[in-house]
Amino acid sequence: MTEISEEQHTTEMTEQDIAEAELPFGWLSETEAAGLAKLAEGKTVLEFGSFLGRSTIVLARAAALVVAVDHHRGSPEHQILGASYQDGSMDAHGRIDTSRRFLDNLARAGVRDKVIPFVGDIEAAARFLQRASFDLVFVDAEHSREATMRGGEIAFQLAKSDGIVAFHDFQARDFPGVTQAVIDIAARYQATTVSRAGSMIALQRVST
């Protein structure tokens, strides 16, 4: 498997690329990052799936506050697609643990104080946050149909009634389960598409 370091994205440093180059490795494209930042502007945000903090940093730079949920044990599908968990991503027992790199990356990006990390499972976070409500929930955790469905349900439960739930990897070739789940969730919650950017799709409930 090819070793991927966070520095691999720092190639040609045009001014426009500097902000991008500061982002850690991840699968969020520049287009998607721009779309996500727009949605997060001044908002309270809940994120499911932070990994090394690429999307978290994009969100935190724009948002008022981000609660970032990740058990930091990695997702099987991304290990297959080449995510490297070397270089400080193992705990003392040899298990994947990306939490330290995640926190370091937030600090390096200057957004550590805008992020409340929740190191745990989405289900645990849902129980803990049951009285909270967010303007925006971004779902980018495990990419199976079942997991996306469950993450999406929890996202709509924790979003304000006029809040937005956004998913990464909608209609992405490698993740048909995400596409199916998003279509099902949109139907279940009577939500329509309010924006698209790359594979990022943002849904909002139709007001009654």
Ligand X SMILES: C[S@@+](CC[C@H](N)C(=O)[O-])C[C@H]1O[C@@H](n2cnc3c(N)ncnc32)[C@H](O)[C@@H]1O
* Cα-based angle 46, 38, 203 (whole degrees, multiple of 5): 60
CB neighbour burial string for 127-143, b if at least 16 within 10 angstroms, e if fewer: eebeeeebbbbbbbbbb
Selected from 40, 106, 111, 122, the binder of ligand X by CB under 6 A is: 122
Taking the C-alpha atoms of residue 133 and residue 126, their distance in angstroms, rounded to an integer, is: 11
Report the site for ligand X in 136-175 (rule: CB under 6 A). Answer: 140-142
Selected from 70, 101, 148, 178, the binder of ligand X by CB under 6 A is: 70
Which of residues 199 and 205 has its CB atom nearest to ligand X in the complex? Answer: 199
135 three-class SS: strand
Which of residues 68 and 191 has its CB atom nearest to ligand X in the complex? Answer: 68
Q: Is 28 in the site for ligand X (CB under 6 A)?
A: yes
Selected from 6, 40, 43, 51, the binder of ligand X by CB under 6 A is: 51
Evaluate whether 106 touches 116 at the Cβ level (below 8 Å): no
* Distance between start and end Cα atoms, the chain: 51
Which of residues 168 and 205 has its CB atom nearest to ligand X in the complex? Answer: 168
Selected from 6, 45, 60, 75, the binder of ligand X by CB under 6 A is: 75
Taking the C-alpha atoms of residue 151 and residue 144, their distance in angstroms, rounded to an integer, is: 10
The region of 9-17, 72-80, 106-114, 178-186 touching ligand X under the rule CB under 6 A is 72-80
Instruction: List interacting residues with ligand X (CB under 6 A).
Output: 26-28, 49-52, 54-55, 69-75, 78, 98, 121-122, 140-142
